[in-house]
Amino acid sequence: MNELADRNFTVIAVALDSEPGAPDPWIEQAAPTYPALIDRAHLLSTLYGIVNVPTAIWIDEDGRIVRPAEVAGAYEAFRHVDPETRTVPEEHRDRARHHRSTYLDAIRDWAASGPASRHALAPDEIRRRLNPPDPAIAEAHARFRLGQHLRATGNEPEARAQFDEASSLHPESWAIWRQAADKLENGIAGGAAFSARVAALGDRHYYPPPDIDGIAE
Amino acid sequence: MVTVITPTASIEVPTAVVVEDDLWLDAGDLDRVTGYELKPEGFCRDDVCVPVPAGREAEFLRPNGVNLATLWRHLGGAVVHDASAASWSLGDAPADHHARLDALEAPDFTLPDVSGALHSLRDYRGQKVLLAAWASW
């Protein structure tokens, strides 16, 4: 997206990462020319209703929301791994590429055309998508932050209890669940518990597609 | 020592007093933790004042003290704490959301980059912003 810098456009990347240093290698490797910020408390989840990553919000020159939080170009190809070959079939790799390129094209269109872009949502539609504050979700975030504090101060059993309560109050949040989950050696919250939680989605999406051109399903 | 965790900060409050589900702070600490100031018209922040409900003064106020837990619940925010009641966490109060969401205003935030330099969303007024959340996990 660096190509758009001369169009009065910037990316602000924010890592929802509570573990000190965890996002640093990724940022060093990406060497971004735009701000790359770190949000250890997941404040953005509270402010913008983020439940998973990658998620993006479009904000115009006046600081107003143009598109609320939605999946940013990702496709759940990992849910289609062939159990025999343990690879993602070509059809789903194609879809992943299509989701990504369609989303990036939509951003380019908005960067060029602003409010005239067909991807800039009407105010009433934006309000409809901005869910009203939900007391259970607000409590989930409060418990998540309490859990982080307890974990950081060495009280893992109580931290775990707060994280579990947070996830049961806000089950849609993969950000809460994965941040709190045990990590594999590569730092990813994968493994059997993750697979089981994904399987429990059934027909529901891990990455609900945004309604942009051909990628909404 | 009590630590109060808000959506934006963890704040140590040495003089806080815990009585069951109540958390008593002096007025200066209330301001430091929540931005609410105790005034004759009630609890005030950004030109908006929330009166102390008539007949319930003793739940909210005592000499040199205000009950943060009761105030926060009154504002509609979650109040949770650990087993020892040494760490308290406040949920985002719904009133904080309504006005800015109706205006479609993107909530401001201030966060550090890897070098520790702070950036606020409002610093980028005048540009379109793709606010992109990711994570290492």
**Tens digits of residue pLDDT in A128-149:** 998 777 899 999 999 999 999 9
Give me the phi and psi of A115, to 5 degrees please: -60, -20
Q: Search chain B and give the residue with CA nearest A131.
A: B101
Residue-wise pLDDT for B86-107, tens only, equals 999 999 887 666 666 778 999 9
pLDDT of B46: 86
Q: How many CB atoms lie within 10 A of CB A200?
A: 9
- Residue numbers of chain A with a pLDDT score lower than 50: none
Burial class for B26, CB neighbours closer than 10 Å (0-12, 13-18, 19+)? middle
Range in A69-73, A210-214, B65-69, B129-133 with the lowest mean pLDDT? A210-214
User: How many whole angstroms separate alpha carbon A55 and alpha carbon B134?
Assistant: 7
Q: Search chain A and give the residue with CA nearest B99.
A: A132
pLDDT of A36: 97
Give me the phi and psi of B10, to 5 degrees please: -115, 125
When CB atoms are compared, the residue of A38, A143, A158 closest to B112 is A38
What are the chain B neighbours of A62 within 8 Å (beta carbons)?
125
CB contact under 8 A, A150 and B102: no
pLDDT of B99: 64
CB contact under 8 A, B135 and A178: yes
Task: Provide ipTM, 2 decimals.
Answer: 0.95
| Residues paired with residue A57 on neighbouring β-strands, in sequence order | B131
Q: Which of B77, B9, B71 is nearest to B44 (CA)?
A: B71
Q: Which two tokens stand for residue A70?
A: 């939605």
Give the H or E element holding residue A98: helix A90-113
| Residues paired with residue B134 on neighbouring β-strands, in sequence order | A15
The model's pTM is 0.93
Which amino acid is it at B99? Answer: A
For residue A24, how many C-alpha atoms fall within 13 Å in the half-sphere facing its CB? 8
> Are the C-beta atoms of residues B103 and B116 closer than 8 Å to each other?
no
pLDDT of A5: 65
What are the chain A neighbours of B76 within 8 Å (beta carbons)?
135
